[in-house]
């Protein structure tokens, strides 16, 4: 009987972590999508990401948001790194073929100590700038 309870709780916890991971991925994609249109600002992208990241056992406000711009992920550089950048528009005057990369990170809470879960999860979204 204790083994069945352990198995039941493990399935529930893994389901919660999977839902959190899925929420981060969807939120990052939505934030990147909102960031490539005219007039999108760094603060708007961050707010979109955090608003959409909330799910079971995870608040969107607890997620870290990184926004980068580049032609590919290996050469993308962070563009919204401080509060002074909140009004910056990532795609404005960007080079041709630039992409907006949004990465969300979350530290997974340990619910039960005997059920192994990842320490952190991330979600990534990328969209090409529609204008420059």
CB 28 within 8 A of CB 102: yes
Angle between helices 42-52 and 2-35 (to 10 degrees): 150
Per-residue pLDDT of the chain (132 residues; tens, 9 = 90+): 888 988 898 899 899 999 999 999 999 999 999 999 888 999 999 999 999 999 988 998 999 999 999 999 898 999 988 888 899 999 888 888 899 999 999 999 888 787 888 999 999 999 999 765
Measured CA to CA, the distance from residue 103 to residue 88 in angstroms comes to 18
Residue 107: predicted pLDDT:
94
Residue 95: predicted pLDDT:
87
Residue 132: predicted pLDDT:
53
Number of domains in the chain: 1
Closest C-alpha to 17, from 112, 125, 102, 126: 112
3-class SS string, 73-113: HHHCEECCCCHHHCCCCCCCCCCCCCEEEEEEEEECCCCCC
What the block records as the tokens of 60 is: 């969107």
The parent domain of residue 76 ranges over 2-128
CB 53 within 8 A of CB 23: yes
Site of tokens 């955090």: 50
pTM as predicted: 0.89
């Amino acid at each position: 009987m204790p083994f069945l309870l352990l198995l039941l709780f493990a399935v529930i916890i893994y389901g919660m972590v999977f839902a959190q991971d899925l929420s981060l991925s969807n939120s990052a994609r939505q934030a990147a999508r909102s960031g490539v249109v005219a007039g999108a600002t760094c603060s708007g992208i961050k707010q979109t990401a955090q608003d959409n990241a909330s799910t079971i056992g995870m608040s969107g406000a607890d997620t870290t948001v990184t926004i980068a711009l580049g032609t590919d992920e290996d050469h993308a550089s962070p563009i919204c790194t401080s509060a002074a950048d909140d009004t910056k528009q990532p795609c404005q005057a960007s080079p041709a073929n630039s992409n907006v990369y949004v990465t969300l990170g979350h530290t997974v809470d340990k619910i039960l100590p005997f059920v192994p879960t990842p320490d952190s999860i991330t979600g990534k979204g990328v969209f090409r700038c529609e204008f420059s």
